[in-house]
Structure 1
């Protein structure tokens, strides 16, 4: 289920390039829930930098092709992006940098222990 069009465009306009610049592997996940057109607008019209441009475009094209082939972007995103990195040196470099990074955080809001 995608986001309503008005919410997608709010994300695109308010967040020029920052939504996806956290982690290249998020491209497939965001394409799954926001739709590939939202990502296309974000990548093409709001590039976060000339060095990152080819990387994001390659990742997006791989996601669109995978979706057209009927593949699940949310579950197979890592594999889809890694396959695309064979043809893009920029994307391969990004995958190499990000492969060891994990987003593992402790619970932010913890209840205080009430002592009697």
Structure 2
């Protein structure tokens, strides 16, 4: 439930910030001066384009792809809903006696194995997301800059 709330907040806050953000002058009126909180973190992770046709780097974009600011915010809201449904499922089936064999009274589920499978799959998903995103294989890469922030650009590492 907590993950669903945090992901939902991040997605909805990103959509709100995109609604009030003015990308026309990124030099004299940058995002942090406009009170943005979520968009700067998204930009540091390599998200620079919008479905509105603008880019934080100053150019216009004709095909921003799925993983633009709006796409990432929508994905957070979608996965927030999925985590909420999972939390509801676990709340409804909290009593593990439901999963016991009525004849023997022993659990019919191997709970440590199920927990291990869940941990393994979530670890693979997190590692895969990070590896593919940062290396640029499937994703933009990551924002790399000099110490003063003058020559920054998105590139794979």
Higher helix share: 1
Question: Which one has more relative contact order, counting CA pairs under 8 Å at least 6 apart?
Answer: 1
Structure of greater Rg: 2
TM-score between both structures, scaled by the size of structure 2? 0.25
